[in-house]
Amino acid sequence: MCSTLARARLSPARTRSKRMAEMTDLQLFNSLTRKLETFEPVHPGEARVYTCGPTVYNYPHIGNMRAYVFADVLGRTLSWKGYTLTHVINITDVGHLTDDADAGEDKMEKMAAEKAQSIWDIAKHYTEAYWADVKALNIRGPMKNGKPDASNWSIATDYIDDMLDFAKSIAPDHCYELDSGLYFDVSTVQDYGKLARAVTEEGEGRIDTVEGKRNAADFAIWRKTPPGETRQMEWDSPWGRGAPGWHLECSVMGEKLLGFPFDIHTGGIDHREIHHPNEIAQNQAFCHCGGLSEATNSGAKVWMHNNFLVERSGKMSKSAGEFLRLQLLIDKGYHPLAYRMMCLQAHYRSELEFSWEGLGAALTRLKRMVMQAERLKDAAASTPEHPKFAPLLARFDEAISDDLNTAVALTALEDALAVKKVDAGIKRAVVETMDAVLGLGLMDLSRTDLRIRPKDAEITEAEIEEALARRKAARAEKDFASSDALRDELAAKGVDVMDGDPLGWEWALEARR
């Protein structure tokens, strides 16, 4: 397989099916069946993926962004394997309560009240902040029929009429009305909660009882505005003025934009406990489907969940301690793609602990790769046909096909970068092929992009360069006293002068911690 693999992968003349036939089968872990399964698309040659997007009441933290890096690697892998990808990512601007079950306040309404701003302004501000992080992390965003569809994020409030239609169609057989809203009776579908695993803190234990609920796990399809109150976001419905329950939007957008059953549904591991089981119940009700021994009855064939990014002190949160936004990493001097690298180094199903040391190590690894890739920039990419690369491409394909094992795939890319005495155009083609999946954008980065650049540095890069030029001149004249004094001056401003650095860096600013 190895020798034909590389040729097949990059030759546009090959048909898609031929190309797929020559690649390793893609194995993905399905949270619903708890098994690794060979990916077989619902529609031949196509892949349709739905990713639960952010609730835009606050900035995303880097843990949230791990979920989108994972979904991006999945999408890139499907594209690379030759499937025509349609990838829907939604923006939740309504309905998500402070508790994933039906307790607490609406996150958006709460933040709008705290900030004394309109919900629409809050949603716009934080949606744009999320998009900035998406861009900085090389996340492709929504895709339609194999092409980037960057402007086409699916915004929940654009689908209110569809949510009402969906709710009307499931209400007679599956819902009941209380003073507070329309509720889904989970006993009306088979195998409710099959996806969930935790029944303690993250799961049922968190569900507060709403008076009159038939089952503790029943959830709101429509939340009525309490008498005498007005909400900023509310719409008329057969059950009174109010707003949709959070779970409804994903069922509705999934069905409308991808059709049931679609291929893959993704989200963070917390969604496996409440949000996705509830989405599945709604989907079963909508399509009059039976139990979940048939995975497709859930609305999707495969349900995938990334594990959490955690802090040493525990769960990542937007309220406790230092709020780890991507912008904070950037302000401390780290290139955002060092964080993407950090995510790729771990398997998406493993918990990943964030530390500044770990981020620094990921940045160094990225620097080494970029320095090797820089040598290829002048060469035009040709085809990757070369016996030295065939086994590496095969190893890469096997790793990524093994439930997206990016950690091993990265080592194949590093080994490809290290191959000596080969035509630069061939090597560039191999590197670009692998990087199309990993999304580091190696050929677009330069070593100076990756310099540590703390926002509050006391010195500019031009000033550093100027001081170093003076130091060089002093050394040329054997004036070591001046040279040392310049070095000390720079050190006092956080600049490490790196004479004889093996990576060829002349200086580095210290990152802020």
Options 26, 52, 155, 399; binder of ligand AMP; rule CB under 6 A: 52
| 135 vs 147, beta carbon nearer ligand AMP | 135
| 224 vs 247, beta carbon nearer ligand AMP | 247
Structure tokens at 264: 């893959």
User: Is residue 247 helix, strand or coil?
Assistant: helix
Considering only residues 12 to 41 of the shown chain, the ones binding Zn ion according to CB under 5 A are none
Q: Considering the rule CB under 6 A, would residue 245 count as an interface residue with ligand AMP?
A: no
Q: Work out how close the CB of 224 gets to ligand AMP at its nearest, in angstroms, rounded to a whole number.
A: 23
C-beta separation of 437 from 400 below 8 A: yes
Q: Considering the rule CB under 6 A, would residue 494 count as an interface residue with ligand AMP?
A: no
Q: What is the DSSP string of 257-293?
A: HH-SSEEEEEEEGGGGTTHHHHHHHHHHHHTT---TT
**x-or-dash pattern for ligand AMP, window 54-93, by CB under 6 A?**
xx-------xx-xx--------------------------
Q: Considering the rule CB under 6 A, would residue 126 count as an interface residue with ligand AMP?
A: no
Q: Work out how close the CB of 273 gets to Zn ion at its nearest, in angstroms, rounded to a whole number.
A: 13
C-beta separation of 275 from 250 below 8 A: yes
Q: Work out how close the CB of 268 gets to ligand AMP at its nearest, in angstroms, rounded to a whole number.
A: 2
By CB under 5 A, which span of 47-55, 203-211, 225-233, 292-300 interacts with Zn ion?
Answer: 47-55
Alpha helices in 375-496 (DSSP H): 390-401, 406-418, 424-438, 461-476, 480-492
Nearest to 192 by CA among 287, 295, 303, 284: 284
Residue with tokens 């406990």: 273
Options 95, 203, 245, 268; binder of ligand AMP; rule CB under 6 A: 268
Q: Which does 467 bind (CB under 5 to 8 A by kind): ligand AMP, Zn ion, none?
A: none
Question: What is the Cα–Cα distance from 51 to 88, expressed in whole angstroms?
Answer: 6
Q: Considering the rule CB under 6 A, would residue 270 count as an interface residue with ligand AMP?
A: yes
Nearest to 358 by CA among 372, 369, 371, 345: 345
Q: Work out how close the CB of 53 gets to ligand AMP at its nearest, in angstroms, rounded to a whole number.
A: 7
Alpha carbons within 13 A on the beta-carbon side of 455 = 7
| 23 vs 111, beta carbon nearer ligand AMP | 111
By CB under 6 A, which span of 180-188, 263-271, 421-429, 446-454 interacts with ligand AMP?
Answer: 263-271
Q: Considering the rule CB under 6 A, would residue 367 count as an interface residue with ligand AMP?
A: no
Cis ω before 142 (30° cut-off from 0): no
| 202 vs 374, beta carbon nearer Zn ion | 202
**Residue of minimal Cβ distance to ligand AMP:** 268
Residue with tokens 């006293």: 481
92 to 31, 60, 472: CA distances (angstroms): 23, 12, 56
User: Is residue 177 helix, strand or coil?
Assistant: strand
Q: Work out the number of other CB atoms within 10 angstroms of the CB of residue 140.
A: 20
Residue with tokens 């040391």: 357
299 to 31, 91, 198, 250, 277: CA distances (angstroms): 14, 20, 22, 11, 11
What angle do the packed helices 480-492 and 461-476 form, to 10 degrees?
160
C-beta separation of 49 from 263 below 8 A: yes
Options 309, 373, 445, 495; binder of ligand AMP; rule CB under 6 A: 309
Options 50, 183, 260, 308; binder of ligand AMP; rule CB under 6 A: 308
By CB under 5 A, which span of 115-123, 250-258, 402-410, 438-446 interacts with Zn ion?
Answer: 250-258
Q: Considering the rule CB under 6 A, would residue 95 count as an interface residue with ligand AMP?
A: no
Query: How big is the site for Zn ion, counted in residues (CB under 5 A)?
Result: 2
Q: Which does 343 bind (CB under 5 to 8 A by kind): Zn ion, ligand AMP, none?
A: none
Q: Work out how close the CB of 343 gets to Zn ion at its nearest, in angstroms, rounded to a whole number.
A: 21
Structure tokens at 157: 């409030």
DSSP one-letter code for 163: H
Q: Considering the rule CB under 5 A, would residue 52 count as an interface residue with Zn ion?
A: yes
* Amino acid at residue number 309: L
Q: Considering the rule CB under 6 A, would residue 316 count as an interface residue with ligand AMP?
A: yes
Report, in angstroms and rounded to the nearest whole number, the Rg of the chain calculated over CA atoms: 26
Q: Considering the rule CB under 5 A, would residue 250 count as an interface residue with Zn ion?
A: yes
Options 140, 271, 332, 395; binder of ligand AMP; rule CB under 6 A: 271
Point out which residues bind ligand AMP (CB under 6 A): 52, 54-55, 63-64, 66-67, 267-268, 270-271, 306, 308-309, 316
Point out which residues bind Zn ion (CB under 5 A): 52, 250
